[in-house]
Amino acid sequence: MSVWDEVTGQPEAVATLRRAVAGAHRGAVDPQAFTNSWLITGPPGSGRSTAAYAFAAALLCPVDGCGVCPSCQQVRARSHPDLTAVATETVIIDIKTARELVSRASRSPMNADYRVIVVEDADRMVERTSNTLLKAIEEPAETTVWVLCAPSEADLLPTIRSRVRSIGLRTPEVEDVAELLVRRHGVDADTARRAAAESQSHVGMAARLVTSPEAWRRRDRALDGVLGLRTVGDAVRKAGDWLAIAEEDGKAASEDRNEREREETFRSLGLDPKQAIPRQLRGVFRELEENQKKRAKRATLDGVDRILTDVQSLWRDVLMLELQSGVSPVNESRLRDIESAARASDPARTMASIEAISVARKRLAANVPPALALEELLVGYVGRHAQA
Ligand SMILES: [Zn+2]
């Protein structure tokens, strides 16, 4: 299976990157298709890093990213000697990391024709760091390829932006995500389609739903009864439920992620996860744990955010029905509730309920206690929709 098969629903981006790989070889027909510095942008869940590593694998593989050779397997494990993978979910790239990257970028590749450096969250580089990297990105060694990933071009310093060739990913189609879930996780087509729709084509979230029945149950619990709240008492109780669900969900998600990061850190240092940590590297793991602790404090808020995203999709379904848009609903399994909510409401009130979610998000960002922000939101729903 080719490494490109992993890049779901992005035919244009894949075509551009494949042309670049073809152009990267000596004596290529179209050398202009290749350049040394790239930026991959796209909405959350569109698969930016998947695309970046597919590109890296294809550049390093003797046969355009076959997906099965030792080189492709090493890229998948992030252990290829000519690949540097920088994932900074927890850490803002500091100046030390940046200098280390620049020094690696100047070395020649060991096995392949290129050395590839993937920076997964290039938007998290602070200005000082960016300037250190800038020179390296601006005048990369002929055999070094930089692949930066960020949500949008605007997230990078203009100086970097102007020096990279940019590729935009789009939100993949529900069908494409469903097909990937069937292929990667072996779930049946109906389950895959439902997960893809309910996660609104966010590949990572969709994968989480099909691999964690608990996560999926939490989503269902969060949405149960939201469209039918009739009293302030109901609203207050539901807000309490949401908070409990968000805590559970945040905790579960961060445990999964901590474990994954730990393994990735081992791999990126060339260590076996089962071996003891050499003394000189203990600092790296201490730093990782500290960052994970800091993030644990944010876990509940992340859980709240996921609930709000799901609730928004529910009201969007109501609105689409009211407008008779013919768009298929995100929450197909709740069609009866959605239909009766659409009958009881009208587009203006439904829009107001959708906008109230943005207001709640703003209040949360301004440090309003989640319990309060959620209660306000739900009490607002009762006021707006209880009297039909
Ligand atoms: Zn290969």
pTM here is: 0.79
Residues 378 and 236 in one domain: yes
Ligand 1: distance of its center to the CA of 58 in Å? Answer: 7
Residues 27 and 152 in one domain: yes
Is there a domain that residue 219 lies in? no
Is there a domain that residue 217 lies in? no
Ligand 1: distance of its center to the CA of 22 in Å? Answer: 14
Ligand 1: distance of its center to the CA of 74 in Å? Answer: 9
Q: Which residue stretches of the chain have pLDDT < 50?
A: 388
The amino acid occupying position 19 is R
> Is 8 in contact with 138 (CB distance < 8 Å)?
no
CA atoms within 13 A on the CB side of 43: 8
Is there a domain that residue 138 lies in? yes
Ligand 1: distance of its center to the CA of 148 in Å? Answer: 22
Please tell me the distance from the alpha carbon of residue 178 to that of residue 219, in angstroms, as a whole number.
18
Ligand 1: distance of its center to the CA of 184 in Å? Answer: 19
pLDDT digits (tens, 9 = 90+) for 355-382: 999 999 999 989 999 999 999 999 999 9
Residues 273 and 147 in one domain: no
Ligand 1: distance of its center to the CA of 180 in Å? Answer: 20
Residues 192 and 336 in one domain: no
- What residues have their beta carbon closer than 5 A to ion ligand 1? 61, 66, 69, 72
Residues 203 and 232 in one domain: no
pLDDT digits (tens, 9 = 90+) for 64-89: 899 999 999 889 888 888 998 887 65
What's the total number of domains in the chain?
3
Residues 141 and 281 in one domain: no
**CATH number, domain containing residue 111:** 3.40.50.300
Which alpha helices (DSSP H) does 107-231 contain, by range? 127-138, 158-161, 174-185, 189-198, 203-211, 213-223
Ligand 1: distance of its center to the CA of 249 in Å? Answer: 37
Long-range contacts at 334-340 (CB < 8 A, ≥ 24 apart): 334/223, 334/227, 337/227, 337/228, 338/227, 338/314, 340/227, 340/228
Ligand 1: distance of its center to the CA of 68 in Å? Answer: 5
Ligand 1: distance of its center to the CA of 2 in Å? Answer: 8
Residues 242 and 191 in one domain: no
Q: Which domain holds residue 183?
A: 174-211
> Is 67 in contact with 5 (CB distance < 8 Å)?
yes
Ligand 1: distance of its center to the CA of 151 in Å? Answer: 28
State which of 159, 183, 211 marks the end of a domain: 211
Give burial (CB, 10 Å; 0-12/13-18/19+) of 130.
middle
Ligand 1: distance of its center to the CA of 242 in Å? Answer: 46
Residues 104 and 73 in one domain: yes
Ligand 1: distance of its center to the CA of 38 in Å? Answer: 21
Residues 49 and 162 in one domain: yes
